[in-house]
């Protein structure tokens, strides 16, 4: 398509000088862009077809772009997605082809945070069970994400809920503990932050948080020592849970 043709079509898109474009020119625009006019013969219907084609643009040579350019497109595409994932998620673009999934899904998981929720029940009004179990939503992560997906995750927000019976019947929960795990500044290790009231007095809370911090940091330090880039496994998640379970028990 020559420069003159491009300028004339730009005028159409800007709703400028439409009347000065002949039907022959409009038909040529459509032909150059390989737009099927479906038998449209009037000037108005051709302009509508051109406009609709602009609203649903296709770029069939996308996979021929250099990887760094494709990654920039992926970054733009993934930006609106929530930062914290509380359910197994696969961006629609990753479902388009095997190659797109291999490129988009790892980037998606590496740039988002996995929100994991564990809970423990009460054995009585005053005594809590030491056992911590994942909620049904958290369980879905382990059921639906293959190990290759999980290994791409770099950030976690872990919440431990303590369920208590209400005096009037039913149950309610308090957030017993929170844990944030993110890559450190070097990108080779992890920073661990522990919060929550730990269901204890202020005087004991700091000590408990420090002890749990040491336990969880130990688990993540072992993950960081692995030589492979894809490091995390389901066993590591359960190792974190076990560390919390032992501490809370």
Is pTM beyond 0.75 here? no
Residue ranges covered by each domain of the chain: 3-55, 112-248
The two tokens of residue 1 are 């398509």
**Residue 116, beta-bridge partner list:** 158
Residue 139 C-alpha from the chain's centroid: 17
179 HSE (CA, 13 A, CB side): 29
Q: Report helix angle 3-13 to 43-55, nearest 10.
A: 90
- Nearest-CA neighbor of 197 among 152, 163, 160? 160
Q: What is the pLDDT of residues 8-29, one digit of tens each?
A: 555 445 444 555 678 888 888 7
**What is the DSSP code string of 130-141?**
S--EE-HHHHHH
The two tokens of residue 154 are 């770099």
- DSSP for residue 115: E
Residues 192 and 184: their CA atoms lie apart, in Å, by 9
Q: What is the pLDDT of residues 116-169, one digit of tens each?
A: 899 988 766 566 677 888 888 888 877 776 666 777 888 889 999 888 887 777
- Nearest-CA neighbor of 121 among 147, 160, 92, 95? 160
- Residue 212 phi, psi dihedral angles, 5° rounding: -65, -40
Confidence label for 180 from pLDDT (cuts 50, 70 and 90): very high
Q: Strand locations in the chain, DSSP E?
A: 84-85, 113-120, 133-134, 155-165, 171-183, 190-195
Q: Count CB-CB contacts under 10 A for residue 35.
A: 17
- For the chain, the straight-line distance linking the first and the last C-alpha, in angstroms and rounded, comes to 73
Residues 14 and 9: their CA atoms lie apart, in Å, by 9
**Distant-in-sequence, close-in-space partners of 111: CB < 8 Å, separation ≥ 6:** 75, 78
Mean pLDDT of all residues in 101-109: 89
Residues 246 and 215: their CA atoms lie apart, in Å, by 10
H or E segment and range at residue 44: helix 43-55
Strands 113-120 and 84-85: parallel
For residue 3, pLDDT over 60 is answered with no
Exposure string over 163-173, b if 16+ CB within 10 A, otherwise e: eeeeeeeeeee
Mean pLDDT of all residues in 92-113: 89
Query: What does the chain come to in residues?
Result: 249
């Amino acid at each position: 398509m020559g420069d003159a043709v491009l300028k004339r079509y730009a005028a159409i898109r800007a709703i400028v000088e439409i009347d000065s474009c002949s039907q022959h020119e409009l038909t040529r625009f459509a032909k150059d862009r390989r737009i099927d006019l479906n038998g449209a013969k009037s000037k108005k219907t051709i302009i509508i077809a051109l406009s609709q084609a602009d609203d649903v643009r296709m770029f069939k040579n996308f996979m021929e772009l250099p990887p760094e350019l494709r990654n920039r497109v992926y970054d733009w595409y993934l930006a609106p997605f929530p930062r914290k994932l509380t359910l197994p998620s696969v961006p629609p673009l990753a479902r388009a082809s095997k190659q797109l999934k291999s490129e988009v899904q790892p980037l998606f998981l590496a740039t988002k945070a996995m929100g994991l929720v564990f809970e423990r029940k009460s054995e009585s009004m005053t005594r809590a069970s030491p056992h911590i179990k994942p909620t049904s939503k958290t369980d879905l992560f382990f059921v639906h994400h293959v190990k290759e997906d999980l290994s791409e995750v770099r950030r976690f927000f872990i919440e431990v809920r303590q369920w208590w019976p209400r005096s009037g019947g039913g149950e309610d929960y308090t957030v017993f503990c929170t844990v944030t795990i993110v890559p450190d500044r070097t990108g080779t290790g992890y920073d661990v932050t522990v919060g929550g009231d730990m269901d204890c007095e202020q005087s004991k809370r700091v000590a408990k948080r420090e002890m749990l911090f040491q336990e969880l940091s130990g688990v993540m330090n072992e993950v960081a020592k692995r030589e492979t880039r894809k490091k995390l496994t389901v066993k590591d998640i359960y190792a974190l849970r076990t560390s919390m379970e032992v501490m809370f028990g």
